Amino acid sequence: MWIALALAIVVLLVLAFRGFGFLAWTGAAAILLVGWRLYGIASPSLFMAVTAGLILVAAVFGLPPLRRVLISRFVMPVFAKVLPRLGDTERVALEAGTVWWDADLFSGMPDWQKLLDFEARPLSDDEQAFLDGPVNDLCAAIDDWQVYQDRDLPPEVWALIRKHRLFGLIIPKEYGGHGFSALAQSRIVTRISSRSVTAAVTVMVPNSLGPGELLMHYGTQAQKDRYLRRLAEGEEIPCFALTGPEAGSDAAATQSEGIVEKRTIDGREVLGLRLNWMKRYITLAPVATLVGLAFRLKDPDHLLGDEVDRGITCALIPRDTPGVEIGMRHDPMGVPFHNGPTIGRDVWVPIDAIIGERDGVGHGWRMLMESLAAGRSISLPALSIGAAQMATRICGAYATVREQFDTPIGRFEGIEEPLARIAGMTYLMTATRTLTCGALDAGEKPAVIGSIAKAYLTEGMRQVITDAMDIRAGSAIQRGPRNMLSRSWDAVPIGITVEGANILTRSMIVYGQGAIRCHPFVHREIEAVAKNDLKAFDQAIFGHVNLLFTRAVRATLLALSGSRLAGVPQTEDTARYYQHLSRFSAAFTILSDTAMGTLGGTLKRREKISGRLADALAFLYLASAALKRYHDEGKTTANFGLVRWSVELCLYRIQEALLGVLENLPNRTAAWLLDLLIFPLGARFRPPADRLGARVARDILEDREARRTLTEDVYVPAGDQPGLGRLEAALDKAVAALPIETKLRDAVRAGKLDRAPGHMLDDTGLAAGIITREEYDRLNEARDLRDEVIQVDAFTPEQFRSLR
């Protein structure tokens, strides 16, 4: 009998581990019955009763028609009281976009081979040529320090933007645009941002949420013909007026209003809208010629139908329309891209100003939510990666060129630590951008993933720039043409704040939307209850029960085995990381379900808990992206160090997020039980070790190809230009001089030369014949350039008073 019991437990655990919950317990029960029968029956009547009872239970739970009658019809009304009720605007927001790899992570059993088999679309020849040609030409024409002083891009840069149709990156070619992929758009914005945040924002906004994208997807043919070519060629400069004083992230609460009414114009009666609005923080508004507007439309005279409140609607308003007030500027952290308020007072436009005309009435909220998924995935992540790659490029060079005690500062552990964080985060962020844009180019509109990319990449930018400022130290805080980092530092809070402030995105949107959209069963349960569909509810609720049971078994067995029981895809040297992520995916699933089950509708108000669950989901996704990047790229030593650093950071952050939920879950009994299941051997993951960080830092300092690959989107100016240009030139000379410096140090160690400071050692080495005159000149050239790049800008009192 003990053998049967052991076999039953094994069958139960194996089948549950593989996701077969019903089969697991019925199979285990059958083995126990067989064992009981074979090893003797103390009471035949008891055996028959137990057997009949188990058959009855299996029939009730295994036959859906019987299960619906005996169980589900009683459970459904209880769930109707617990499940959140979704209003129309909330439903549209939650259902916007699509689910993709995030659904796998929510499932507790991610299919890693599916991820690795996914082929992200590379840049086309035309896209690469545009990046290397017109985009580089634009970057070369920009003097970012002068842009700050003039508080605008110069006319020649505006002309290049129009000439190269940079406002039409996403507009189809038949309308004069480029029709570029999401990845191309992201890489273009990244490169421009590495030269000038002002120019990057100016280019990215017309290609993000705004008139162009809304017209492409929802405009009538007449509207497309009227506007798209003019937008692509820069004849029209668009902005989109969404945020108002009363409604920031909650755009559905807008007080901007449109009233349907008729007016007599040129002797004929015309149906139109009378609009009033007050908007702020609108990028490009001060120079816009075409205003996209989100407002609530009302029809008190029933000119469109029976309903008075027609809902959120989007329209296009020419700047010169009477009543439009526009042109004032905000000052976002001193970064001089155009941003300002716009006000409309009794502005009247015909009904065809609505995007989609009459078919677009009341559909503005859906338009915005569906389009925002793509915008969050591309624009601000691209800016963040531009800043991160620039910081990596600058600090990798500076830590080699800058010396203290005759030693490059990158050799000191105090510099090594933040340098490793900069490089590791840059690798992780760029990997996330590539995977996310790949999903977009494959036709997905990953709303949850887009929110993750926006929030966690802009937070990554904040960390990277902070570390870079620390490494550059005093030279990082002295503003001037030589200092690129200070302008990135200025821009950091902008990315953190716009398109949904990160506090809101982390604490409410990522998990709030993900828990419903990405979960295999929650959305189906809500829909079934709303439609009173007992059959659909029965399938969803018992699928949910199976999920919770099997993932609990899976999480526990993986924790006890050090994740070794998890299957892995065909990989060479990263298999353990896939196993650990599989473990945490299962743990996330059961913890998420428990949080939803014990907190119910109040979970969305428990923002600290939902924020930690968002952290766990986000770092599961970021780690997936890092592993995918390593799989797709060359297996170099530097890349292996970077992927290890990235994934180990993510694993630690996932662990800490899960622990944070467990420590603060109000139901302490559930928390205690889950702690036993998820961390039976304790919390064992740690941040990347010092040795690994040292390896990553050395690769960035010593492996020029690794540094170039990690910063491939950075625009590198000519060597005679201040900032990165001269720093790169100094790095080339410093690297060329290293063998000569080594020769001198070897001579000191051999006793052929006396120890002396750098330039004096050069002199004595030349005099002693240790180095040649040519080598001596190369050393001096390198030292001169070193001295040049460590200098900071200084101004006369008159110049200083005029600085911006």
Could you give the residue numbers annotated as active site?
499
| CB count in 10 Å sphere of residue 756 | 15
Q: Please name the helix (run of DSSP H) or strand (run of DSSP E) that holds residue 326, with its range, or none.
A: strand 324-326
Beta strands per DSSP E along 405-507: 407-408
Contact 369, 445 (CB under 8 A): no
Q: Please name the helix (run of DSSP H) or strand (run of DSSP E) that holds residue 660, with its range, or none.
A: helix 637-664
Q: Which amino acid is at 620?
A: L
Contact 64, 539 (CB under 8 A): yes
Contacts of 760 (CB under 8 A, 6+ apart): none
Beta strands per DSSP E along 197-243: 238-241
Question: In DSSP terms, which residues pair with 257 in a beta bridge?
Answer: 276, 296
Residue positions counted in the chain: 804
Q: 662-696 burial, b if ≥16 CB within 10 A, otherwise e?
A: beebeeeebbeebbebbbeeeeeeeebeeebbbbb
| CA separation for the pair 583, 442 (Å, rounded) | 28
**What is the four-CA torsion angle of 478, 484, 490, 496, rounded to 10 degrees?**
-150
Q: Which amino acid is at 381?
A: P
> Under DSSP, is residue 406 helix (H, G, I), strand (E, B) or coil?
coil
Q: Which amino acid is at 725?
A: G
Quick one: tokens of 718?
């000519």
Contacts of 168 (CB under 8 A, 6+ apart): 175, 176, 177, 178, 206, 207, 212, 231, 232, 233
Contacts of 624 (CB under 8 A, 6+ apart): 101, 105, 110, 115, 435, 581
What are the helix (H) ranges across 498-636?
A: 502-504, 511-517, 522-531, 534-560, 575-599, 607-632
In 3D, which of 729, 149, 132 has the Cα closest to residue 487? 149
Question: In DSSP terms, which residues pair with 268 in a beta bridge?
Answer: 265
